[in-house]
Structure 1
Amino acid sequence: MSNIPIFAVILLVPGRSLTSTSSRCLNISQRFPVFLAKYSFGTFTQCLKMKSLSEWSFSQPNLLTHFNIDPVKENYVRRVTGCVFSRVTPTHLKSEMQLVSVSQDVLENVLDLDPREEKNPSFANFLAGNQLLPGSEPLAHRYGGYQFGYWAGQLGDGRAITIGEYVNSKGNRWELQLKGAGKTPYSRNGDGRAVLRSSIREFLCSEAMDALGIPTSRAAAVVVSKDMVVRDQFYNGRMKYEPAAVVLRLAPTWFRIGSLEILAKEQEKLNLKKVVDFTIEHYMPAGEKENYVKFFETVVEQSSALVAKWMAHGFTHGVLNTDNMSLLSITIDYGPFGFLDSYNPSFVPNHSDDEGRYSYLNQPKIFKWNLACLAEALQPLLSAEEQEQTAAIINRFDEIYQEHFMSIFRQKLGLSRPAKDEVRLIQLLLDTMQQRGADFTQTFRQLGDIHLDNIELNEEHWALHSVSTHRRFSEFISLYQASLKETETTEEERQRIMNSVNPRYVLRNWMAESAIRQAEKGDFHLTNLLLKVLRKPYEKDDEAEALGFSKPPPDWACSLRVSCSS
C-alpha cells in the first residue's frame, strides 16, 4: 500500500463508494494515471465536494432552534409581535421559467453544487421556490426601521423568504433567501414579487462587489417567468406589466439594525437579547460573549471600513435606511444603487430621494446616524455606564472612518505608506475631478497606467485629459511626486498598487440597463457577459472593450433614473 499514490489511497478507503460525486470526478479521465498527471490534490478534493441537486440538502437550522417563531401559521399580512420569524411557504410561479444567469463561483465555492446542475430542470424550480429541497424551513424575518429619517414601524421580509441554512465544505454557514418568492406577513400592500430589472441589478452588483473585495451578500442565480406583475416604476401613475423574477441570494446572516430596533421599540427585551447574543456568538470575534459594548464597537469599526470602501469605489447605495444596514457590516438589499460616472459628490441614484439624504457624499454621515440608532436599540441591554461608552464610540466614528478612508485612498494613489501631505494630495485630485466632471473610476485607473516622470496621454486616457488641463494639475503632480519620494515608492510599485485596487470595470447603471433591456426580450447574453467581466474587474476583457465598458458612458446614460420599485 505504501507505493500507491495518495490519490489512490483516498479512493481505496474501505467502504468508500466510487459512485455519485466521486465517479463524476473520475469521468475527467477514464485512466487514473492521466488524471494524476493533470489534476492537483486540491482540484481533486474540491471535485469530491461537488454535489448534484438530488444529493444536496440544507443543514440543521440554527434560526429555528434559537428564536421564537410566530405561532400564527396562516400566511396573511398582519402586525406580528413576540417573535423574530414567521413560517411561510414560497408562492409558486405558474408559467414557463427561464434561467437568466448563474454565478459559478457561488454554486461551486459556496454551495458545493456541481456547476452542471444549472442545466437540470429541477434547478429552476428550486430557484423559483416551486421545489423545496430536504431540510428547507422557509421563514420570513420580522424587523422595523427608520426610513428617510422617520420611524416606519414594522417592515420585515415582504418579498424575501429564507428557505434554509447551509454549512458548506469549508465550514461556513450561509442563509439562503429567495427574493421575489411571494407574500409574507410583512408584505404590507405588496405582492411579494420582484421583477426582472431589479433582480438582474441585484444579482450582478452582489457578485461585482464581492470581486472588488467589498463585504456583501452574494447572489447564486436569477430565474424569470412569464407570470406578470404590475408595477409603477417611478410612482407617477404609469402602471405596466413586468415579468416576475426570483433571485437566490445568500448571506451569513440577514440580521440588520432594524432587527433590533423593532424588538427594542416593542419592549421585547428577551427576544432582543437572543438576537444580539446569537450574533455575537456566531459572527463576532471570540471572547465577546454578552459584551454588548464590544459588540457595538466591532460593528462601528467594520461599518466605517465598509462605507470607506464604498466611497473608494464610487458606490452609492441609494436607500440607507436602518432596515437596510447589516449587523455584520456587509452590503445588503441592493435597490436604486449606482456607481459614479463623473465625480459628483452630490450624486443621488434614487429617483425617490428628492432631498438627497442618501447621496454619495452623505453616506458616512448616514452610517453614523444609523449606528446611533443601533446604540439606542441596544439600550435595554446596557447599564448607564455602558450607554455612556457606546456614546463615546459613536463620537469617534468620524476619526475611525477617516483612518479607513485615508488607508484606501492612499492605495488608490499607489503610496506604499502614509505621507505628510496625503490629505491635501487626495483632496486636490478630487476637487480637480469634480470641477472638470472627470470620470471617477477611469481617472484613478488611467493615472495608474501612465508614467509620472514623462506624462504622455493618448485617446485611451480620455478621463485624464480633462483633469490634465486644469490649472492645478501641475500642482497635483508635483505634490504627488514629492509624496512618492517621501514614501520611497518607485514608479513600478506605484503602478502595481494602483492597478490592484482601481478597477477597470464597475457596474455602471447604463451597463445594467442595457442588459435589462436585452433580457426583457429573452436574450441573456449581455447579463452573462457582464457577470464574467465584473468577476474580474481589474483585467482587460476584449468583449468588454468592444462594448465600451471602459469608455465614456453613452449620452443616454445621463437620463437614467432608478427607483425602489421592484
Structure 2
Amino acid sequence: MPFSPAYRPATDHTKLGDIFYDVVEPATFPEHILRYRNRRAAATVGLDTLTDTEWVDHFGRFSPLPGSLPHPLALRYHGHQFRQYNPDLGDGRGFLFAQLRDSDGRLLDLGTKGSGRTPWSRGGDGRLTLKGGVREILAASMLEGLGVETSRAFSLIETGENLERHDEPSPTRSAVLVRLSHSHIRIGTFQRLAALGDTAEIPKLVTYVLETYYPDITVGAEDNAALLLFEAVCAKVARVGAQWMAAGFVHGVLNTDNIAITGESFDYGPWRFLPRFEPDFVAAYFDHSGLYSYGRQPQALLWSLARLAECLLETAPHASLSEILAAFPALYESELDVAWCRRLGVAARSTDDDRALRHAVTLFMEESGIPFPALPFDWYGGTVSAGRAMASPQAAFYSRPDFQPVRALLDAREPAPGVTVSHIYFNSEIPCDMLIGTVETLWSALSTDNDWTALDAVLDRIGVMSDALRTGGPPAG
C-alpha cells in the first residue's frame, strides 16, 4: 500500500557519525502477533495507511522504512544508575529503527524495546516481556492523557518466545515494542563523550542538538551555544518533572541515561501512579533507599542536570553553568504551579495565588489520605464542580473542617479557558486511573484469558479522559 502523503522519512542521526552508534541486526522471532498499533500516532508521521501485514513487516521484522535509516542503530551512551557511574550501557535490547518528520517538520524517532541483542546487551537476552510492553503502553497513554510531555507507545507485537525473569512468574511471554519519541539522545550521551575524553565531539553534539531539537534558539557570534542548550534543557526537564508530580506519577528509574535531552518523558519500567499523596512512595522494588521516590524526583532531576553541566565544563564557563543550575528549583516551582492549575482545570492567577492553591490542595491530600486521583477529578474546574464533588464517593472528605480553606480557594477559581464539566467523562463518579490494581486486573485478563478487548477498553477510557481534560469535548447526553 502506498505511504500517506504525510510520510516524511529522515536520517538525521547519522550526521553525528558512527562514534555514536553501532549498526545492528534485529532478532528473528518465531511468531508475530500484532497486539497494538497506535493509529493516531501513526497518522502524525504518515504510517496510518499501512496494512496490518505491512505493519508487522516493519515493526516486527524491521524491514527498513523507505528513505529512512537503512539499518537499525544501537545508540552508545553511559550513565549514572542510582548515582553509580556505569560505562557499559548503551542500547542493550533496543535500537533506533527509523526517523520521520511530522507535519510541523519536527524530527521524531521510532525506537525499539525487546528487538534483540546488541554489543551493549551485557549478557542479557535483548528481549522484552509482553507484560513490560503492555505496561509501557499504559504508562505512556495515561501520561499523554493527563497532559504530560511523553513518548508514545507506537506498536506492540507478541513474538512467541518464553522468557525467564526473576521479577515475573516465568516462563513469561515475549514481545517487541516500538515507541515514537522526540529524541533518544540522553544526558548519558554527553557523559560518554566526557568520560572517554572526546571533548572535541561535545561542541558538535551541542550544535546538532540545538539545530535539530531547539530550532527556535538562535545562536549569535557572541553567544555560548552550550549555555543556551543547558538552559533550554533545564527548562524542559523542570516542566516534565512538574507534570509528573501533578499527575501523581513515579518514574522509578531516573538514571541519567533515562533523561532525554529534549526533556520528554520516556522509557517506562517499574513506574507507578500514587494511590495517595505520599512523598516517600517508591515505584521500583529494587530502590531500597527511596532515591527515586515520588517526593525526591525533583532532586533526582536536578542531580542529573548537574551531571550534564559537568560534561559542558570544557565548552562553557563554570560560573554560568552554576547560575543556570541554581535557578532550577525556582523554575521547577513555577512549572509545578502551572501543572497543578492544569490538573485542577482552573485558570491561572498570580504566582502567589497559584502557589497558595497548590500548597493547600497537596497538604490536604497528604494529611487526609484521600485517593490521589479523586480531588482533581471531583473539583475539576473549581467552583463549577462543587455540586458534583459533594455528591461524589469522596464527599465526606470535603465536609471535613480542614478542607474548608481548600474549598474557599477553589470556590474563588474560574475554570481555565475551554474547560467544561459537561463532558460525558464527568458523568462518572470515579476518575480514570492507572493504579497498580487496575494494571494487574488488566494483565490478568490478557495473560489468563487472552482477552485483548480489555486493553482496548482501558485505552478507550483514557481517550475519553484525554478529550475531557484537553478540550472539554462533546456535551454529555
TM range (shorter): 0.7 to 0.9
1 CA distance for matches of 2:388 and 2:189?
54
TM-score, with normalisation over the residues of structure 1? 0.74
Superposed CA deviations along residues 113-134 of structure 1, whole A, max 9, x for unmatched, are 316x12x2x4223222353444
2 CA distance for matches of 1:534 and 1:330?
20
2 CA distance for matches of 1:329 and 1:256?
9
3-state DSSP of counterpart to 1:214? coil
- Residues 1:272 and 1:344: Cα distance change in structure 2 (over 3 Å): same
**Which sections of structure 2, spanning at least 5 residues, go unmatched?**
469-477
Query: How far apart are 1:402 and its partner, in Å?
Result: 0.9
- Residues 1:92 and 1:367: Cα distance change in structure 2 (over 3 Å): same
Match of 1:395 in 2: 326
Match of 1:442 in 2: 374
Match of 2:473 in 1: none
Q: 2:456 aligns with which of 516, 520, 528?
A: 528
The answer to whether residue 13 in structure 2 is matched with residue 63 in structure 1 is: yes
Match of 1:93 in 2: 29
Residue 476 of structure 1 aligns to which amino acid in structure 2?
V
1 CA distance for matches of 2:409 and 2:254?
36
Superposed CA deviations along residues 5-37 of structure 1, whole A, max 9, x for unmatched, are xxxxxxxxxxxxxxx76xxxxxxxxxxxxxxxx
The answer to whether residue 311 in structure 2 is matched with residue 361 in structure 1 is: no
Contact map agreement 1:145 1:152 (CA 8 A) in 2: yes
1 CA distance for matches of 2:337 and 2:308?
26
The answer to whether residue 257 in structure 2 is matched with residue 334 in structure 1 is: no
2 CA distance for matches of 1:445 and 1:340?
15
2 CA distance for matches of 1:493 and 1:252?
28
Contact map agreement 2:161 2:173 (CA 8 A) in 1: yes
3-state DSSP of counterpart to 1:379? coil
1 CA distance for matches of 2:105 and 2:40?
17
2 CA distance for matches of 1:59 and 1:454?
50
Match of 1:431 in 2: 363
Query: How far apart are 1:170 and its partner, in Å?
Result: 4.5
Match of 1:33 in 2: none
The answer to whether residue 432 in structure 2 is matched with residue 505 in structure 1 is: yes
Contact map agreement 1:199 1:222 (CA 8 A) in 2: yes
Contact map agreement 1:505 1:538 (CA 8 A) in 2: no
Contact map agreement 1:49 1:169 (CA 8 A) in 2: no
Contact map agreement 1:432 1:470 (CA 8 A) in 2: no
Query: How far apart are 1:370 and its partner, in Å?
Result: 0.6
Contact map agreement 1:142 1:259 (CA 8 A) in 2: yes
2 CA distance for matches of 1:200 and 1:211?
16
Match of 2:192 in 1: 262
- Residues 1:454 and 1:394: Cα distance change in structure 2 (over 3 Å): closer
Contact map agreement 2:107 2:212 (CA 8 A) in 1: no
Query: How far apart are 1:68 and its partner, in Å?
Result: 3.0
- Residues 1:149 and 1:432: Cα distance change in structure 2 (over 3 Å): same
2 CA distance for matches of 1:186 and 1:431?
45
Query: How far apart are 1:108 and its partner, in Å?
Result: 1.5
- Residues 1:99 and 1:454: Cα distance change in structure 2 (over 3 Å): closer
1 CA distance for matches of 2:393 and 2:251?
27
Match of 1:6 in 2: none
The answer to whether residue 206 in structure 2 is matched with residue 271 in structure 1 is: no
Query: How far apart are 1:190 and its partner, in Å?
Result: 0.9
Residue 295 of structure 1 aligns to which amino acid in structure 2?
L
Residue 198 of structure 2 aligns to which amino acid in structure 1?
E
Match of 1:471 in 2: 401
2 CA distance for matches of 1:161 and 1:200?
19
- Residues 1:474 and 1:376: Cα distance change in structure 2 (over 3 Å): same
Query: How far apart are 1:456 and its partner, in Å?
Result: 7.2
Query: How far apart are 1:499 and its partner, in Å?
Result: 9.0
Residue 17 of structure 2 aligns to which amino acid in structure 1?
N
The answer to whether residue 94 in structure 2 is matched with residue 160 in structure 1 is: yes
- Work out the percentage of aligned pairs sharing the same amino acid: 25
3-state DSSP of counterpart to 1:114? coil
The answer to whether residue 156 in structure 2 is matched with residue 222 in structure 1 is: yes
Question: What does residue range 184-199 of structure 1 map to in structure 2 within 5 Å?
Answer: 184-199=118-133
Question: What does residue range 199-214 of structure 1 map to in structure 2 within 5 Å?
Answer: 199-214=133-148
3-state DSSP of counterpart to 1:255? coil
The answer to whether residue 75 in structure 2 is matched with residue 147 in structure 1 is: no
Contact map agreement 2:4 2:49 (CA 8 A) in 1: no
3-state DSSP of counterpart to 1:281? helix
Query: How far apart are 1:147 and its partner, in Å?
Result: 0.8
3-state DSSP of counterpart to 1:474? helix
Contact map agreement 1:142 1:154 (CA 8 A) in 2: no
Superposed CA deviations along residues 246-270 of structure 1, whole A, max 9, x for unmatched, are 0111222200000100110110123
2 CA distance for matches of 1:505 and 1:196?
23
The answer to whether residue 445 in structure 2 is matched with residue 518 in structure 1 is: yes
Superposed CA deviations along residues 477-505 of structure 1, whole A, max 9, x for unmatched, are 23444xx2xxxx54x66993789999942
Match of 2:230 in 1: 296
Contact map agreement 2:378 2:388 (CA 8 A) in 1: no
Query: How far apart are 1:349 and its partner, in Å?
Result: 1.1
Question: What does residue range 10-21 of structure 1 map to in structure 2 within 5 Å?
Answer: none
Superposed CA deviations along residues 506-552 of structure 1, whole A, max 9, x for unmatched, are 43222222222222243211112222222332457xxxxxxxxxxxx
2 CA distance for matches of 1:450 and 1:216?
27
Contact map agreement 1:129 1:181 (CA 8 A) in 2: no
- Residues 1:170 and 1:496: Cα distance change in structure 2 (over 3 Å): closer
Question: What does residue range 232-243 of structure 1 map to in structure 2 within 5 Å?
Answer: 232-233=166-167, 240-243=170-173
TM-score, with normalisation over the residues of structure 2? 0.87
Contact map agreement 1:506 1:537 (CA 8 A) in 2: no
Match of 1:127 in 2: 59
2 CA distance for matches of 1:108 and 1:412?
28
Question: What does residue range 16-55 of structure 1 map to in structure 2 within 5 Å?
Answer: 49=5
3-state DSSP of counterpart to 1:86? strand
2 CA distance for matches of 1:480 and 1:534?
25
Q: How many correspondences in the alignment?
A: 457
Superposed CA deviations along residues 355-380 of structure 1, whole A, max 9, x for unmatched, are 11111111111111110011001112
1 CA distance for matches of 2:386 and 2:162?
58
2 CA distance for matches of 1:129 and 1:410?
44
Contact map agreement 1:161 1:178 (CA 8 A) in 2: yes
2 CA distance for matches of 1:250 and 1:454?
39
3-state DSSP of counterpart to 1:101? strand
